[in-house]
Amino acid sequence: MGKYEGTRMFHKVTRTWNPIIGCKHLCSYCWAWRLAEDRLSKMLDKYKYGFRPMFYEKELKAKFKPNELVFVADMGDMFGEWVPKSWILKVLSTIKRFPRTTFLLLTKNPKRYLEEEIFDNLSRMSNVILGATIETNDDLVYIIEVRQNVRPPLPSERISTMIKLRDLLPNARTMISIEPIIKFKSGFAEEVYAIKPEFVYIGYDNYDNKLPEPKLKDTVKLISKLEDYGITVYRKTIRKAWYEY
């Protein structure tokens, strides 16, 4: 792990590991993109091309301790469409060598979990948590107010892919990150429940991007519904929407 990487920690994560960096989704609120382009590009050779997708094969020599929870590629999206399958398979091979360490994968493009060879590998691994970021279930709000330039898959596509993954791999460990939370439609809790995640992280934007946020009362209701469904919810930044102050 680089000294300056891994600032977007989930509290259970003990370490980050970035053999693949960069992302072409370019979400309007991306903190990693700004960090890579503005600061890390001047400080670290690894980021000399900023947020351009890169593979650092020498990182595959990393060693991991039992009982660590390692967040893989938090400085990008290693399942983006642009990432060569060979890179992903090499990272998964390394993960397999540490069966007593748990590795958290997180993407906005979970359909690559289902891709041939990648799926075959994942279906035989018990030390990975397959995560997806799903900030909302409202495609329209997402299209109009959040997406820009290059477009990550719509939230509805991510939800249906994660439900399909659950059907194909009933015992897979999965998680959902609802962060930064965006205004959502009714039925969001039910859709997340259908994915049967082991846990959910939920939180508001930390970087004052003035996103179309839900009111605090709606978020509190969502959390309560998820917990009623028996889902473990970890709260990150929970506050009023910026326009409620």
User: What residue ranges bind ligand SF4 (CB under 6 A)?
Assistant: 23, 25-27, 30, 32-33, 76-77, 108, 152
Output the CA–CA distances (angstroms, integers) from residue 70 to 13, 52, 67, 119, in the order listed: 6, 23, 9, 20
Beta carbon nearer to ligand SF4, 30 or 222? 30
The answer to whether 52 and 23 are in contact (CB under 8 A) is no
Give the shortest CB-37-to-ligand SF4 separation in angstroms: 11
Give the shortest CB-107-to-ligand SF4 separation in angstroms: 8
Give the shortest CB-207-to-ligand SF4 separation in angstroms: 11
Beta carbon nearer to ligand SF4, 137 or 177? 177
- C-alpha angle 22-182-164 in degrees, rounded to nearest 5: 70
Beta carbon nearer to ligand SF4, 147 or 196? 147
| The amino acid at 57 | E
Three-class DSSP category at 234 = strand
Beta carbon nearer to ligand SF4, 144 or 150? 150
| Tokens matching residue 127 | 């030390």
Beta carbon nearer to ligand SF4, 196 or 206? 206
Give the shortest CB-99-to-ligand SF4 separation in angstroms: 28
Give the shortest CB-51-to-ligand SF4 separation in angstroms: 8
Cβ partners under 8 Å of residue 78, min gap 6:
20, 72, 87, 88, 91, 105, 107
Give the shortest CB-80-to-ligand SF4 separation in angstroms: 7
Beta carbon nearer to ligand SF4, 118 or 225? 118
- Nearest in space to 184 (alpha carbons), one of 228, 142, 153: 142
- Nearest in space to 177 (alpha carbons), one of 85, 52, 74: 74
